[in-house]
Amino acid sequence: MTFGLSLIFIILTILSLRISYYLSSSNNGRIFLSPILIFTLFQILMVNIGLFITTITYQKYFFPFLIIILSTFSLNLGALFLNKTKYDYVISNNTQTKRNKLIILIGYILTCTILIYLLKDVLNGFILFINELIGGNLVGAIKSLAESRRSFSFMSGSTGIINEFKNIILVFLTIYIISSNYKWYFKVAILLITTFFLLSTGQRWPIFEAILVYLVFLSYSKNFKFDLKKIFIIGGFFYIFLFIISYFQSRYQISNNLFENLISNAQAINYRLFVSQNLTSIYIFDLIPNTMDFGMGDYIKKDFSTYLPGYQEGFATYVYKLTHFGRAGSASFSSLTLFYADFSFFAIFISFFYGLLIQFYSNSIFSKKISLHRIIFHSFVVLAISTTSLGSLSGIITHGLLSGFLMFKLLSVCLKSKKI
């Protein structure tokens, strides 16, 4: 059984990657970072491989694991069912009028002003972190950054609004500025300011999501051509950057031995990337059907219920409490795992339609006139869709879909359109 499951896993993984690669490539060899490609990569690298190792090691979870890998393949089959349009839309001219540049700059300044007001205490802690780091006090710097993270975590009621301004609106405007005809030194200043805000809350994911959005945007640029080699190189730089950032956000016991700290940091990163995400799926496999029944749609409704007024316990919070003796927390897991929790083996068919919807979006977004802000908005939607392979299905709204759409519509009204 182990050999047969291993063979199925390898074959379906290769086929899924091949389909998503085909759907994301153009006739001239360009690779566009499409939602189906990034979703598949995240699902396989950060969920499926870990589940495979766990299943083989402990000789359990065979049925749910088989559903997950079949769902991954079915998702790609759904996308392939629609096939792809001719991917020839690339950004060739980013020159903006003085009026457009002024509007974007005003928007950026207003966003920074709002963030300074909302994050004043957090920013003070982050500035202290920078001072400690410059002064060579590594332990003090790490403590200051941890305090900055705690300050942000306990800002009751406003963290959601801050995240929309900081992680979506600010990044949206930053990409617009660095991709247009502003002076190079002005672009560098804007990039440094945005990086300061993204790192100020002591979290890793905002900076990496911002980089991912920009990479998606770059894949539609005429001046930058993605291929497999560049994707692997960028992945390597991602890991190195994550290693550096994580070192100052240590989730392990700091010692006086630098080598031990580096090893502990690497172990913590690998655990977060390759164990943590699939571990939450294991929670579901253990709970169903022993503690919970298949939801038949109730768990998806519970996932989206958090957007309703008042306190609503999301499905990820509910699962965390069941698996951590009632403690508060969140166990975010792949949307494919959520489909399994609700529909058992019918998750394979749900995944097919999910893949179909993803590809429908990819084929239709550029059916209208292309603009710079449309492509930036599209890049955020790619982020929102692809990250459902790792977290809440409802998170698609807060990962750029809502604020990104509002920014796109606002700029469509305010800016003079220009063919790019």
Q: pLDDT band at residue 46, thresholds of 50, 70 and 90? A: confident
Distances (CA, A) of 240 to 193, 197, 224, 234: 22, 21, 22, 10
- Each residue's pLDDT tens digit, 223-248: 777 666 777 777 777 677 666 666 55
Of 207, 273, 206, 210, the closest CA to residue 239 belongs to 273
pLDDT at 251 over 60: no
The pLDDT assigned to 257 comes to 59
Res 26: pLDDT = 76
Mean pLDDT for 21-26 is 86
According to DSSP, residue 416 is labeled P
Residue type, 197: F
269 or 32: which leads in pLDDT: 32
Give the Cβ contact number of residue 27 at 10 Å.
8
CB 82 within 8 A of CB 19: no
Mean pLDDT of 296-300: 87
Check residue 129 and give its pLDDT: 74
* pLDDT, tens digit (0-9, with 9 covering 90-100), for 89-141: 566 667 788 888 899 999 999 999 999 988 887 887 778 777 777 776 666 66
Which pLDDT value is given to residue 324?
Answer: 74
pLDDT attached to residue 40: 95
What value does the mean pLDDT of the chain take?
81
**119-133, 158-172, 223-237, 362-376: least confident range:** 223-237
Contact 48, 333 (CB under 8 A): no
Q: pTM of the predicted model, to two decimals? A: 0.86
Least confident interval from 23-27, 238-242, 363-367: 238-242
